[in-house]
């Protein structure tokens, strides 16, 4: 089973975002607690791979997953969706 998958839509959007940030090597996905029992994912640019980060390379895009997020993202697909009102990365 793949640990983490990015859809072509997400890969293209990440490539587009990183084009303007040559000093960054990829994006890092993390997780933080939200509310009483909820989790939310964080996404930020990164210049280096952390010692405990899991690295997923897909179509030339490097996504690093923080250690504390690795278990919750197991088998997850990251997509980028746009509609008339919003555009965002989603985790399925």
Domain boundaries, the chain: 4-91
Asked if pLDDT for residue 1 goes beyond 50, the answer is no
Beta carbons of 63 and 79 less than 8 angstroms apart: no
Which residues are CB-contacts of 5 (< 8 A; sequence separation ≥ 6)?
Answer: 56, 58, 76, 77, 78
Lowest mean per-residue pLDDT among 14-18, 26-30, 43-47, 72-76:
72-76
Q: What percent of the chain has pLDDT over 70?
A: 98
Task: Domain 4-91: give its CATH code.
Answer: 2.60.300.12
pLDDT band at 38 (very low <50, low <70, confident <90, very high): confident
Mean pLDDT of 26-55: 91
Residue 2 has pLDDT above 80, yes or no: no
């Amino acid at each position: 089973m793949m640990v983490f998958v990015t859809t072509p839509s997400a890969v293209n959007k990440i490539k587009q975002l990183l084009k303007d940030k040559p000093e960054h090597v990829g994006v890092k996905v993390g997780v933080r607690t939200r509310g009483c029992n909820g989790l939310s994912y964080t996404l930020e640019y990164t210049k280096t791979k952390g010692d405990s980060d899991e690295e997923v390379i897909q179509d030339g895009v490097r996504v690093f997953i923080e250690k504390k997020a690795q278990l919750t993202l197991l088998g997850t697909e990251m997509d980028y969706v746009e509609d008339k009102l919003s555009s965002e990365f989603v985790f399925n």
